[in-house]
Amino acid sequence: MTAIADLGIAFGRVAFVMLFILNMGGLLTWVERKQSAIMQDRIGANRASIFGFRLLGLFHPLADAIKMLTKEDFMPARADRFLFQLAPFVSVFFGLVAFAAIPFGDTLRLAGREIPLQAVTLDVGVLYVFAMLSLSIYGVMMAGWASGSNFAILGGQRAAALMISAEIAIGASIMGVIMWYGSLSLQTIVRGQGDLLLGWIPAWGILVQPLGFLLFVTAGIAATRRIPFDTPESESEIIGYFVEYSGMKFGMFAMADFLETVVIAGLTTTLFLGGWQVPWLYAEGFRFPWGAELALPHLLVVLLQVGAFTVKVSLMIFVMMLVRWTLPRFRYDQAMRLGWLGLFPLSVLNIVLTGAVLLLVGGPA
């Protein structure tokens, strides 16, 4: 009986993360259309309807999926058949699994059990997420190489070069966070952000690591390969690694981009925006810095935490979309220069500064 319950709980945790990221990813096609439209004084796609209900254009992702599933599945004659088929699946798979180590809530106590609200509890969660993010570039490179097209291989190589320069900056920029909270476990890092600075400011990563936050978000946007870092895609010059793809395989590459946006937003939230932390909310309820207290039932606290995580991720996605629809694309060499001569040295500087502060002032503990 307990084995079945354990299995059910494990399944439920995975299902929650999967549904969260898949729905977010699907919703992002709608968000992208609508947010860009509202930013540009337009209305945005609103014509798809079911029985006359348009619902703010929410059926457009559905219409897109139907369109892509019914399109011709084209394969170039000179393509590497196996890798060409495999590439979009690799891209989407690693985008999906990367979210597994990101905690979406504190421990849930239910019927005498302690359920960690996280698909997998890993002590090296940070490394796992970065490993999965790095592996997702294999799908892109595979697609570029297997297409048998010069433009596709150019896009694949650009993606690889961009990913290397972005990954280094990502890895170096979160070193400060890891040093400050003293753990590679994402859950521990989030718990550490529940502390208070000066007795009333939540010690979120963005406050203790402002430079690290800036560098991480910049490098993270580069890792999603979207504007302003869409040199691998460059729809106006080379069209990029998926130039030979059609139908749902093309859609999977587009979806992988959105999934990575969600992953980067989730990671930013976890590392810098306090994850599931609600300011001054503790396991037994609110404890405000001015002395007031508000006891809350355990289930409500957990719900608030999961809700806070969702809101923060959505907010981060909004910011990333805002950047995507505001800035023009970096030229290829500019993106490289920014990665190697801008983000990376600054990340190293951030590490040195954090180390100096930890040494002179002392850490959070």
Partner 1 sequence: MKLAQRLYLPEVVSGLVLTAGHFFRNMGAHVARALGRRDARGAVTIQYPEERRPYSPRLRSLHRLVRREDGSPRCVACMMCETVCPARCIYIVAAEHPNPDIEKVPARFDIDLGKCVFCGFCVEACPEDAIRMDTGILEFSSYSRGGMIYTKEMLLALEPATGDGRPTSPVPIPPDRRMPAP
Nearer to partner 1, 10 or 56 (CB): 56
| From 15-23, 110-118, 287-295, 317-325, span contacting partner 1 (CB under 8 A) | 317-325
Nearer to partner 1, 37 or 48 (CB): 37
Cα–Cα distances (Å) from 155 to 94, 149, 161, 169, in that order, read: 19, 10, 10, 21
For residues 258 and 138, give the distance between their C-alpha atoms in angstroms, rounded to a whole number: 17
Tokens of 73: 């599945």
For residues 56 and 313, give the distance between their C-alpha atoms in angstroms, rounded to a whole number: 22
Residues 25-64, mask of contacts with partner 1 (x by CB under 8 A): ----------x-xxxxxxx---------------------
Number of residues forming the site for partner 1 (CB under 8 A): 14
Tokens of 8: 């059910």
Nearer to partner 1, 16 or 325 (CB): 325
When binding is defined by CB under 8 A, the residue of 65, 323, 336, 349 that contacts partner 1 is 323
Residues 200-219, mask of contacts with partner 1 (x by CB under 8 A): --------------x-----
For residues 253 and 142, give the distance between their C-alpha atoms in angstroms, rounded to a whole number: 12
Q: How far is the CB of 319 from partner 1 (least distance, A)?
A: 8
Contact between 218 and 155 under an 8 Å Cβ cutoff? The reply is no
Residue 340 sits in the site that holds partner 1 (CB under 8 A) = no
Q: How far is the CB of 339 from partner 1 (least distance, A)?
A: 13
Length of the chain, please? 365
Q: How far is the CB of 2 from partner 1 (least distance, A)?
A: 50
Q: Which residue has the tokens 């309820």?
A: 285
- Residues 16-29 as b or e (16 or more Cβ within 10 Å = b): bbeebbbebbbbbb
Nearer to partner 1, 35 or 165 (CB): 35
Nearer to partner 1, 109 or 337 (CB): 337
Residue 326 sits in the site that holds partner 1 (CB under 8 A) = yes
Closest C-alpha to 36, from 188, 227, 180: 227
Q: Exposed/middle/buried for 103, CB within 10 Å: 0-12, 13-18, 19+?
A: buried
Q: How far is the CB of 8 from partner 1 (least distance, A)?
A: 41
| From 22-30, 87-95, 186-194, 319-327, span contacting partner 1 (CB under 8 A) | 319-327
Q: How far is the CB of 227 from partner 1 (least distance, A)?
A: 13
Cα–Cα distances (Å) from 153 to 274, 296, 304, in that order, read: 40, 56, 47
Q: How far is the CB of 41 from partner 1 (least distance, A)?
A: 5
When binding is defined by CB under 8 A, the residue of 282, 286, 325, 340 that contacts partner 1 is 325
Nearer to partner 1, 140 or 264 (CB): 264
For residues 330 and 234, give the distance between their C-alpha atoms in angstroms, rounded to a whole number: 10
For residues 300 and 281, give the distance between their C-alpha atoms in angstroms, rounded to a whole number: 11
Residue 15: helix, strand or coil by DSSP?
A: helix
Nearer to partner 1, 100 or 221 (CB): 221
Contact between 299 and 309 under an 8 Å Cβ cutoff? The reply is no
Residue 327 sits in the site that holds partner 1 (CB under 8 A) = yes
Give the interface with partner 1 as residue ranges (CB under 8 A).
35, 37-43, 214, 322-323, 325-327
